[in-house]
């Protein structure tokens, strides 16, 4: 039988204090003065569960690593312990990178003090914060909402240019450049800004309510009421209050109505909402995909370990009935999914067991006259009209010559959108994507759009490099659309080492690492002639947020071009 819990209402400051008391307990008590730290470098960003498993195989049960860090800290009571671990980890290959370790001894008192000071700063910040909860949430999820849209666009444009300038500068600062290498990156030595065109930024046709996909947390409001919305503050700071998305500019009305309807449901429910700190309760989170076609997919996630089989069956029937009767709130659910997830990690996860309760399990969207089926887990751009502008520009820059046999490599193809919208202009499309469900969608999408000249591979691009290097059509154009945390350097190397690829259209939400590897001169590690950026444009898919897509056209440096530059010098 399910145990109902009582809940106390905690202010953000009280929640911070709770986090502080639990976290500081993790610093081990010992009579020695120092904490002996091993810094492990060259780890991947994110991938925390793989890192945890890997380090645990070396006997490390505790380490400190933020998802965006490329390093982790492991603390030891003694220097010998630390040095022993360094011996074990130094030079080990993990995720195709060689680990490097560094040792440092940190004064225990100072370490503790530093940690506590940081926590105090956070508390003071929270205490002095005069913003309303709604304002804080708006600042968190749409940090640019206070400035007019045209200024947001200018800001993003400048950020794009700053990225490009940074890479230009970095090329000139590379060590040991000989004349031949310099000639390959002669564009980077040109004075006075960027020696290629950066177009005016392209605005999103819709500025508010553009997000077709929203993930909501089910938890408690600052007043303690069951609420469906966004988590206010950071979970790692111990703040776990949830606020309704009603005042969030980027959330469409339909998704706000759905969050409110789910909130009514959980408030009426005999089961409690999930508490992220106690790891108890039933209702955890929900995902909404509300497409421009009018299709609506809802995925409700619950923790079922405290429910009997009979209770679960009853709850499923109740959910079906509830969502089928939401027409009165102008909510027409075309697919309802239930995800059972009893694990500790928060958010919708592919590790959960997902069952379709209403509909066929998909939603459909239309882009540039093509129809696409999307499953709940597959990536799909969240701003449909702006995506049409992005894909149109991408196709324009691919500049397919109709008189030649061209292969389009759609690398990181998701549900196949880019390749399918361009399939009519090329001899064939090859799509590679690591999420196998997305490839199932991509194949169904090609069929639905009567497209026969596509071939898909469900794989990491770096593991199907042969597909890239073996492509020998007259012309090969690659579109590379990696996720925010980038793509493996072997992918870039494979593209570089395939001489028939003369052009790459790079769609980037974070141009950092990948770009450098495209443009750096030929070396033992990066074989093949480099590319040089030839034009770029920012396309805003995410108004009111810091994010923006940067479309970059890279063209291969021609041998003649390189010689000419050398002679001019
Ligand atoms: C930004 S999305 C782009 C998807 C698609 N081009 C679109 O516009 O809908 C990036 C995609 O890359 C996939 N991905 C990430 N790393 C990958 C890798 N190493 N190999 C293949 N696919 C990858 C993700 O699963 C995701 O579907």
Model pLDDT for residues 127-149, shown as the tens digit of each residue = 788 888 899 999 999 999 999 99
Residue-wise pLDDT tens digits, 118-129: 888 877 877 788
- Per-residue pLDDT band at 564 (split at 50, 70, 90): low
Q: What is the DSSP letter of 308?
A: -
The count of other CB atoms within 10 Å of the CB of residue 564 is 13
From ligand 1's centre to the CA of 414, what distance in Å? 5
C-alpha atoms less than 13 angstroms from C-alpha of 191 in its C-beta half-sphere = 0
Which tokens sit at 192?
């006075």
Cα 461 to ligand 1 centroid, rounded to whole Å: 9
Q: Give residue 472 CA to ligand 1 midpoint distance, Å.
A: 24
Measured from the CA of 479, which atom of ligand 1 is nearest? 6
The DSSP-derived string for 27-53 is SPP-SSSEEEEEEEESPPSS-HHHHHH
Residue partners of 177: CB distance under 8 A and separation at least 6 = 185, 521
Per-residue pLDDT tens for 464-475? 878 888 888 889
Question: pLDDT per residue over 488-538, tens digit each?
Answer: 778 888 889 888 899 999 998 876 656 788 899 998 888 899 999 999 999
Q: Quote the CA–CA distance of 531 and 553 in Å, as a whole number.
A: 9
Residue 78 predicted with pLDDT over 80: yes
Residue 435 Cα to ligand 1 midpoint, Å, equals 8
Whether the predicted pLDDT of 359 surpasses 90? yes
In the chain, what are the domains?
33-113 (3.30.70.330), 170-203+383-568 (3.40.50.150), 213-366 (2.40.50.1070)
Residues having CB closer than 6 A to ligand 1 are 379-381, 412-415, 417-418, 432-435, 438, 460-462, 481-483, 487-488
Output the DSSP codes for 264-294.
HHHHH-SSPBPBTTTTB-SEEEEEEEE-TTS
pLDDT value at position 323? 98
User: Counting Cβ atoms within 10 Å, is residue 560 exposed (0-12), middle (13-18) or buried (19+)?
Assistant: exposed
Active-site residue, from 370, 413, 509, 548: 509
Q: How far apart are the first and last CA of the chain?
A: 82
SS3 for 78?
coil
Which of 181-195, 295-309, 479-493, 520-534 is the most confident on average?
A: 295-309
C-alpha to C-alpha distance for 272 and 420, rounded to whole angstroms: 45
ipTM: 0.99
287/130 Cα distance (integer angstroms): 31
Query: Is 413 one of the catalytic residues?
Result: no
pLDDT of residue 180: 92
Average pLDDT (451-461) is 95
Mutation pick for ligand 1 pocket among 391, 431, 434 (CB with most ligand atoms within 8 Å): 434
CA distance 365 to 210: 14
Give, for ligand 1, the residue of 412, 442, 458 to mutate: max count of ligand atoms closer than 8 Å to Cβ: 412
Distance of CA 23 to the CA centre of its chain: 27
Q: C-alpha angle 32/33/34, rounded to 5°?
A: 100
Confidence of residue 406 (pLDDT cuts 50, 70, 90): very high
36-40, 325-329, 333-337 — which one is most confidently predicted on average? 333-337
């Amino acid at each position: 039988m399910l145990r109902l819990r009582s809940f106390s209402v905690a202010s953000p400051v009280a929640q911070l204090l709770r986090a502080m008391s639990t976290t500081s307990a993790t610093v081990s008590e010992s009579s020695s003065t120092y904490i002996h730290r091993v810094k492990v470098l060259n780890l991947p960003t994110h991938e925390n569960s793989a890192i945890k498993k890997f380090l645990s195989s070396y006997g490390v049960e505790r380490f400190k690593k933020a998802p965006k860090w490329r390093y982790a800290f492991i603390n030891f009571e003694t220097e010998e312990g630390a040095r022993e671990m360094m011996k074990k980890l130094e030079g080990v290959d993990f995720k195709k990178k060689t680990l490097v370790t560094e040792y440092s001894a940190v004064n225990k008192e100072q370490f503790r003090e530093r940690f506590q000071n940081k926590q105090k700063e956070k508390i003071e910040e929270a205490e002095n914060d005069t913003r309303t909860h709604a304002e804080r949430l708006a600042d968190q999820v749409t940090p640019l909402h206070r400035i007019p849209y045209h200024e947001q666009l200018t800001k993003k444009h400048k950020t794009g240019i700053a990225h490009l300038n940074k890479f230009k500068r970095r090329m000139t600062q590379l060590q040991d450049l000989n004349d031949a290498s310099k000639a390959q990156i002669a564009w980077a030595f040109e004075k006075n800004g960027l020696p290629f065109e950066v177009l005016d930024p392209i605005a999103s046709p819709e500025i508010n309510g553009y997000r077709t996909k929203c993930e909501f947390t089910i938890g408690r409001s600052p007043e303690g009421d069951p609420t469906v919305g966004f988590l206010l503050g950071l979970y790692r700071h111990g703040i776990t209050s949830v606020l309704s998305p009603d005042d969030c500019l980027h959330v469409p009305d339909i998704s706000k109505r759905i969050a409110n309807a789910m909130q009514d449901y959980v408030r009426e429910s005999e089961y409690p909402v999930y508490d992220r700190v106690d790891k108890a309760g039933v209702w955890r989170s929900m995902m909404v995909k509300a497409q421009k076609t009018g299709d609506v997919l809802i995925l409700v996630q619950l923790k079922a370990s405290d429910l009997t089989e009979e209770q679960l069956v009853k709850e499923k029937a109740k959910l079906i009935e509830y969502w089928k009767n939401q027409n009165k709130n102008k909510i027409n659910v075309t697919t309802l999914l239930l995800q059972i997830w009893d694990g500790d990690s928060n958010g919708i996860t592919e590790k959960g067991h997902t069952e379709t309760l209403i509909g066929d399990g998909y939603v459909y969207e239309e882009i540039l006259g093509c129809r696409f089926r999307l499953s709940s887990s597959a990536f799909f751009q969240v701003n449909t009209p702006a995506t049409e502008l992005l894909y149109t520009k991408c196709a324009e820059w691919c500049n397919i010559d109709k008189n030649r046999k061209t292969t389009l490599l759609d690398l990181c193809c998701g549900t196949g959108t880019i390749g399918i919208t361009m399939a009519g202009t090329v001899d064939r499309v090859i799509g590679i994507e690591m999420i196998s469900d997305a490839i199932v969608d991509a194949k169904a999408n090609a069929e639905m759009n009567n497209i026969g000249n596509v071939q898909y591979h469900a794989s990491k691009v770096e593991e199907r490099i042969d597909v890239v290097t073996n492509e020998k059509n007259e012309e090969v154009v690659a579109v590379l659309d990696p996720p925010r945390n980038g793509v493996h350097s072997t992918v870039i190397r494979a593209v570089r080492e395939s001489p028939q690829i003369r052009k790459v259209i790079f769609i980037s939400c974070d141009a950092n690492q990948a770009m450098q590897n495209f443009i750096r001169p030929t070396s033992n590690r990066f074989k093949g002639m480099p590319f040089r950026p030839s034009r770029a444009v920012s396309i805003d898919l995410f108004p009111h947020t810091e994010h923006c897509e940067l479309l970059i056209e890279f063209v291969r440096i021609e041998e003649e071009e390189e010689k000419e530059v050398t002679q001019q010098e």
